[in-house]
A and B are shown apart, each in its own frame.
Chain A
Amino acid sequence: MSGLSDDQLAELFKIQRETYCRWRLGTLSNPRVGNRRRLGLLLSLLEELAHRQVNIKDWLLNAPITERLTPYELLERGRISEVAFAAASLGEARVARDPRIADCTSTFR
């Protein structure tokens, strides 16, 4: 769903790539409590992104959102709150400006 490689996903959980592969294949089904919870948070984030018109992999890796850090780099640092906040504003239609408001703005300059 994310388009990220096993290496990149493993890095988010601070586990080895082989461990992540075993999770994915179901041959290792007992991640630690923290990582089970993190898997749920990441899945919710990816489901949210899937509902928005965005290339998920491209956005995660190439769209700096704060301090020049991409969403993936923020996730590496555990800062999912900031990623979720940025994701919530993706794919929204721009609000058309009321021309009367624009006129008022120019009046008071």
Chain B
Amino acid sequence: MRWPAAWGPPWSGYYDLAPLPGLLNGEDYVAKLGEACPVPTAALDGQRIAVLTVEGLEALFHRLAMNSLRFPETPMRYSVEAARVAHEVDLWERWITKCGIEDGFQEWLDELFEGQPREDAVGSVIAGSQQPTGGPRRGVLAWNYEELCAELDATACP
């Protein structure tokens, strides 16, 4: 829907709305958060008009918290969580592109992370220098996205 007149940065107030400036044909819209809900993927075929960036996800988390709790801060927690969610979606898409099916992806995320490789004095990766951290890949999505991409590319499809 169109947004309230005379509303602009820093988008204070109207916390039940998420601003979407320039969404369609350069015109400004808002999303009514009270009407947002999960839908089957198939329902979005041909209907997608935009996706959120990591910064957009962070802003969305802030508005949801303000709308529900009137919590005024934008803590670092939101940016790490936005990165985690965005990286999981990116890896999921990478998995489907590679394997053609979603099966096995969540199980792969729950497997142990092989570790971040070390770099030598000139910044080149030292092959085989990874040390497993003992935790699952899911736990390092925000910090080790690039290493997870490499592990996914080297993983055989189910």
Contacts and interface: CB of A to CB of B under 8 A. Distances in A.
Given A18-B121, A41-B83, A78 B77 contact: no
B139 A81 contact: yes
Contacts of B121: 16, 18-19
A80 B143 contact: yes
In this complex, the interface size class of chain B, counting residues with CB under 8 Å from chain A, is: 20 to 34
Interface in B129-149: 129, 133-135, 139-147
Interface in B105-127: 113, 116-121, 123, 125
B76 A78 contact: no
A54 interface: no
Contact of B140 (A13, A30, A79, A87): A79
Given A14-B119, A15-B119, A34 B135 contact: no
Interface in A76-97: 76-82, 84-85, 87-88
From A18, A33, A84, name the one whose CB has the most chain B CB atoms within 10 angstroms. Answer: A84
Contacts, number: 87
A100 interface: no
A30 to B, nearest CB: 7
A32 interface: yes
Contact of B80 (A15, A30, A76, A81): A81
Contacts of A41: 79-80, 83, 142-143
From A30, A45, A75, A78, name the one whose CB has the most chain B CB atoms within 10 angstroms. Answer: A78
B79 A78 contact: no
Interface in A38-96: 38, 41, 44-45, 47-48, 75-82, 84-85, 87-88
Contacts of B133: 76-79
A31 interface: yes
A41 B76 CA distance: 9
Contacts of B16: none
A24 interface: no
Contact of B120 (A16, A79, A88): A16
B77 A79 contact: no
Given A81-B81, A84-B75, 13 more contacts: A14-B129, A15-B119, A15-B123, A30-B123, A38-B143, A41-B143, A44-B79, A47-B76, A75-B143, A79-B135, A81-B84, A87-B77, A88-B75
